[in-house]
Chain A
Amino acid sequence: DTEVTQTPKHLVMGMTNKKSLKCEQHMGHRAMYWYKQKAKKPPELMFVYSYEKLSINESVPSRFSPECPNSSLLNLHLHALQPEDSALYLCASSQAGAGGGQPQHFGDGTRLSIL
């Protein structure tokens, strides 16, 4: 079982809906990540939070809005998505900090379909 929990596992939404993806970890990790993965492609980095502050935004469209309410939680708020946004959204966490050789731990993802 994964130590990073993502909800929901599946989400179908219309282009005008607003929904949120949630991610939770209790490993004391202070870096948390959102990735988007399309079929037969590797995960693409979207956002990184380090010590609850947004440290990387990979030029993600504003219809995706991340939030890190505390060190254990990471949300991804969705609004006015497009059909091409349908994908597997993966959350990950890791130890943060300089020189850290710490790997990421992944949740099992939210499979998102935009109608």
Chain B
Amino acid sequence: RKEVEQDPGPFNVPEGATVAFNCTYSNSASQSFFWYRQDCRKEPKLLMSVYSSGNEDGRFTAQLNRASQYISLLIRDSKLSDSATYLCVVRLDNNNDMRFGAGTRLTVKP
């Protein structure tokens, strides 16, 4: 079983749509959780950290469910510029062991 699993998509949505991605992790001792976005042929860039109480940044909302070992990302009012691959990243332990999910490809269409 992979340490971090994501639905690879692709998700094709119209502008203005709301879209949600989920990510599950296998190690219950995992400590920190992040969502990154990666554009084609670019490096991953931090979108947001995920906190236990859930957190929001503009149109983006991240949630963590430790009991079920999943994190989610909700994007409201999708923009064309949101088209990218969204990567779930989990820090497994104190040893800075960071693992990526396979990424979910999102395309927002006019």
The answer on A and B forming one complex is: yes
Residues of A at the B interface (CB closer than 8 Å) are 2, 31, 33, 41-45, 48, 50, 55-56, 88, 90, 92, 94, 96-109
Tell me if B32 and A33 are in contact (CB < 8 A).
Answer: no
A105 to B98, CA, bound (A): 12
Contact of A106 among B43, B49, B96 (CB under 8 A): B43
Per CB-CB distance, the 7 closest pairs between chain A and chain B, nearest first, are A42-B100, A106-B43, A101-B32, A31-B96, A98-B94, A103-B46, A108-B43
Closest to B99 in A: A45
Closest to A48 in B: B96
Residues of A near B100 (CB, < 8 A) are: 42-45
Residues of B near A107 (CB, < 8 A) are: 43
Tell me if A101 and B49 are in contact (CB < 8 A).
Answer: yes
Known: A41-B102, A42-B87, A42-B100. A99 touches B31 (CB 8 A): yes
Interface size class on chain B is: 20 to 34
Cβ of B45 within 8 Å of any chain A Cβ, yes or no, is yes
Tell me if B49 and A55 are in contact (CB < 8 A).
Answer: no
Residues of B near A50 (CB, < 8 A) are: 95-96
Q: How far is the CB of A10 from chain B (nearest CB, A)?
A: 12
Known: A2-B43, A109-B43. A103 touches B34 (CB 8 A): yes
Known: A41-B102, A42-B87. A55 touches B95 (CB 8 A): yes
Known: A90-B43, A109-B43. A103 touches B95 (CB 8 A): no
